[in-house]
Amino acid sequence: MDADDAIGEILVSAEDLERRVCELAAEVSRDYAGKDLVLVGVLKGAVFFLSDLMRALEVPVELDFMAVASYGSATKSSGVVRILKDLDAAIEGRDVLIVEDIVDSGLTLQYLLRNLGARNPRSLEVCALLIKPERRKVELRTRYVGFEIPNRFAIGYGLDHRERYRNLRYVAALKQ
Ligand code: IMP
Ligand code: MG
Query: Is the distance from the beta carbon of residue 77 to the nearest atom of ligand 1 less than 6 Å?
Result: yes
Gap from CA of 159 to ligand 1 centroid (Å): 8
Q: Tens digit of pLDDT for each residue in 113-166?
A: 999 999 999 999 999 999 999 888 899 999 999 999 999 999 999 999 999 999
SS in 3 state form for 97-156?
A: EEEEEEECCCHHHHHHHHHHHCCCCCEEEEEEEEECHHHCCCCCCCCEEEEECCCCCEEE
Looking at residue 91, its pLDDT comes to 98
Strand, helix or coil for residue 4: helix
- The band of 35, judged by pLDDT with boundaries at 50, 70 and 90, is very high
Bridge partners of 64, per DSSP, are: 40
- Taken in order of first residue, the domains within the chain and their CATH numbers are 14-154 (3.40.50.2020)
Task: Label residue 161 exposed, middle or buried (CB < 10 Å: 0-12, 13-18, 19+).
Answer: middle
Pocket test for ligand 1, best of 135, 148, 159 (most atoms within 8 A of CB): 159
Q: How far is the CA of 153 from the centre of ligand 1 (A)?
A: 8
Q: What is the pLDDT of residues 45-94, one digit of tens each?
A: 999 999 999 999 999 999 999 999 876 666 666 677 899 999 999 999 99
